[in-house]
Amino acid sequence: MSDQTPGAPHARGQRAAWESLPAPILDALQTALGDEIIATTTMPGGFSPGIAARVRTGNGQRAFVKAVSASQNAVAPTFHRREILVSSHLPPGDDLPVPRLLWSYDEGQPDTDREGWVALAYQDVAGEQPAQPWRPDELDRVIDALNRLAAHLTPTPVAADAVGTVTRWGPIRTNFWRLRAGDPPAALNSWARRNLDRLADLSDQAPAAVAGDTLLHLDLRADNVLLTPERVYIVDWPHARIGAAWLDPLFMAPSVTMHGGPEPEEFMARFDAVRGVDPAAITATVAQIAGFFTSAALEPEEPGLPGLRAFQEAQGAVARRWLAQRTGWT
């Protein structure tokens, strides 16, 4: 295991209070759950400015509830809407380590300026996020679960026209290095600045490299994993799309390393889907991921998401170092 990056940031959003949930939504939720909610616990992990809470009703029903409005963050309702879409298309059954969607609510109205609130409730999982820095035994469990998940979701059980393909997803489709090359920001990393043109050319190869037939999560981090004594659950699926199975661990690798896990090459070697993949395809995609995190970290802070840019830059730093090792560029 690598040493944790000193001061490595953690995913911590600025959660809204449960009491901010509008009464009509609370009433609808309680009707769906079958009784009045008598206990709530706000969950701090992850990047979201909205409500995220475990709830319990008087009849003993438990659920995990997420809710947000555009007044808290302009794009957050879009992610909740997409999570409802993806979750409603996931295949039922206990084989998939994903909490079951119980209920959703959307005040937004298409073709109007009314964004409203978006809320959803999942089966509550009585689990905990993995320890950070990573513990070897917990990382072993997560890697094993992700290998099984990739096998279960290949070929994808969800049609491409329902969730889309990764080749059309912004973090893969957009060449962030080329966007920055025209007017490099003063804060851009010096290694990246020296190699901008080569980085842009390398990233051009990524979209074709990641085409595939696996349903991907695309936001795998410790705060999107729950561990129970028996199982590993993967939560928060708004970014899910179809592509190459090895892309999920590739996107996850920088966060694992920055929080005390193995270096990316060692981490990637433990995934079944990586075996036999063209090294050039992986290098091009590492370039794309490094560009995504590096460029995102240079943007202004998002309202309601303090620390997001530092979190992205910490992953970008790992990805750039990884890419420098793979390319030999100085």
| The pLDDT value given to residue 112 | 46
Transcribe 237-299 into DSSP letters.
Answer: -TT-EEE-TTHHHHHHHHHHHHTT---HHHHHTT-GGGTT--HHHHHHHHHHHHHHHHHHHTS
- Kindly report, residue by residue over 168-227, the tens digit of the pLDDT: 999 999 999 999 998 999 999 999 999 999 999 999 999 999 999 999 999 999 999 999
Give the pLDDT band of residue 45 (cuts 50, 70, 90).
Answer: low
Give the pLDDT band of residue 114 (cuts 50, 70, 90).
Answer: low
Cα separation, 85 vs 200, whole angstroms? 33
Tokens of 256: 């694992």
- Kindly report, residue by residue over 243-294, the tens digit of the pLDDT: 999 999 999 999 999 999 999 999 999 999 999 999 999 999 999 999 999 9
Cα separation, 328 vs 330, whole angstroms? 6
115, pLDDT greater than 80: no
Contact present, 36 and 58 (Cβ < 8 Å): yes
Mean of per-residue pLDDT scores for the chain: 92
Domains of the chain, with CATH numbers? 18-123 (3.30.200.20), 136-327 (3.90.1200.10)
